[in-house]
Structure 1
Amino acid sequence: MEIFQYDFMVRALVASSIVGLICPLMGMFIVFKKLSLIGDSLSHIALSGIAGATILGANPILGSLIASSISAIIIDKLRVNLKEYADLSIAIIMALGVGISGILISVSNVNFDLFSFMYGSIATVNKDDITIIIITAFMIILFIKLFFKELVYITFDEENAKFSKIPVKFINTIFMILVAASITITLRIVGVLLVSSLIAIPVATSLKVAKSFKNAIFYSVLFGEIAILSGVIASFYLDLPPGGTIVVISVVQLLIVSFFSKIINKNKVKMVFNK
């Protein structure tokens, strides 16, 4: 295939395949924690981190990771304190991110490629980015493997998890930092405006066919990988922006799966009545 003749596309496919695994994997817990829009919030904060790091001459990914990690911890603290209005924590941090990034970009003399940050620029993924993505993915997978039962318990019943002497604060803090890390590595692929879609849509699609939580994780990763890899390949051959292409394919997947799941459920109901 022509696509494998270009080093930048090989790097893009490697990065995409890892992101396609990590985002839906983290997305399962994020969605059930009712934090589906956290990607939008942290991605805007990450943009301010990128702007600040670029002004200082530092690594943009490192800057975005620091900014989004701190903000993720703040969101978790606000979520606990606000309780019934927990979604306000996401709105507050997103507004702060938009404000700070706007100020930094406008007052600096550095030229920012805003389009690539907003919608992703997968062609710019380099070897250092790949290394950071692999390390981040390893940490996320290791954390979920070590604390899977505790994470599930906290996700569905945080109050009782506290009474069961599970270190809820510690696990939540590490989880939120890793959420920030997963969003940071995703920015290169789909950009600030579309990062939430890669977290939420594969999960929504998986819930249409899954029969258990673990089953849903498997399907969400499967749908995520199909969407992101086919999106990258299609964007290369059709000369389309990869972020938007990935999101459109994800939504099409959701619509197709929803359509066929309705047909299957109707047939099951008919079979029950016929019996």
Structure 2
Amino acid sequence: MFEYDFMVNAFAASGIVAVLAGIVGYFLVMRGQTFAGHALSHVGFTGATGAVLLGISPIWGMIGFTLAAGVGMGALGERLAGRDVAIGVILSLALGFGLLFLHFFTAYATQVTALLFGNVLGVSASTLGVLAGLGVLSLVALAAIMRPLLFASLQPELAEAKGVSLRLVSVLFLAIAALAVAACTQIVGVLLVFTLMVGPAAAAQNLTTRLSIGLVLAAVLALVQAWVGLTLAFYTDWPTSFWITALAALVYGGSLLGRR
């Protein structure tokens, strides 16, 4: 299996993305912002299709659109009610533009399928470098805001009283989440980002209440699902995204049985 360069790239890319998705997804679940992750992936699709129409690599369009949307979602509403309204408005606008771009995108059916469902086996060395950069940047940024993020997530009223800007924390975190979503779509596609971002994190939170253990567990579960899914796809010739999704559902179901 590893005698093929495309498989080496696929394992490296899925490993980077899985660890990033597990850690960032843990905070998405903790903060009740899983809808944001779902919305960002659809916004990313709009950016990717627009980039292709302009002759630009899809990943750059996806990064640009998801990052702008993440910042917008955080800036428009840091509290639950306002946040969900902001996400809904941005998602609707993005889907409208996505429909427009698809109208001009009919000659690129293969690329559309790859964007929707992922194409980890087609990851190039240059894309792998971009994913590695996104992973490092996102994790460093997350580490930098870890303390105020935890404070704002667990005790928002007290954090605000102590001078923590909930809006700023929300903007920064959703910007990081946007980068993670853009990376995830390269592996599982726009429609299945929820699987890798939320599934392992939700399972980890079902199994432990300790933050440090939960973060590590979420990353490990995401990594195992990605690599096992990739291996099964190689030997069965079934889509990688299907296997990752099936494994995520299986692990989450098992976590409910062993819930703390």
> Secondary structure of the residue that 1:183 maps to in structure 2?
helix
Deviates more, 1:188-197 or 1:35-44: 35-44
Deviates more, 1:63-72 or 1:31-40: 31-40
Q: CA separation in 2, counterparts of 1:134 and 1:119? A: 21
Are the counterparts in 1 of residues 22 and 196 from structure 2 also a CA contact under 8 Å?
yes
Q: Shift of the alpha carbon at 1:200?
A: 1.1
Q: How does 1:162-173 map to 2 (within 5 A)?
A: 162-173=160-171
Find 2:43's aligned residue among 42, 45, 48: 45
What amino acid maps onto 1:120 in structure 2? G
Q: CA separation in 2, counterparts of 1:199 and 1:124? A: 21
Q: How does 1:1-275 map to 2 (within 5 A)?
A: 3-80=1-78, 83-84=80-81, 86-108=83-105, 110-113=107-110, 114-259=112-257, 261=258
Q: CA separation in 1, counterparts of 2:96 and 2:226? A: 30
Runs (5+) with no aligned partner, structure 2: none
Deviates more, 1:54-63 or 1:106-115: 106-115
Query: Aligned in 2, Cα 1:211/1:33: closer, same or farther, shift over 3 Å?
Result: closer
Query: Aligned in 2, Cα 1:120/1:29: closer, same or farther, shift over 3 Å?
Result: same
CA RMSD across the alignment: 1.8
Are the counterparts in 2 of residues 42 and 180 from structure 1 also a CA contact under 8 Å?
yes
Q: CA separation in 1, counterparts of 2:81 and 2:101? A: 33
1:68-114: CA deviation from partner (whole Å, max 9, x where unpaired): 1111112112323x743532333322222222111112135752422
> Secondary structure of the residue that 2:32 maps to in structure 1?
coil
What amino acid maps onto 2:28 in structure 1? I
- The count of residues paired between Structure 1 and Structure 2 equals 259
Query: Aligned in 2, Cα 1:112/1:160: closer, same or farther, shift over 3 Å?
Result: farther
Q: CA separation in 1, counterparts of 2:40 and 2:21? A: 14
Runs (5+) with no aligned partner, structure 1: 266-275
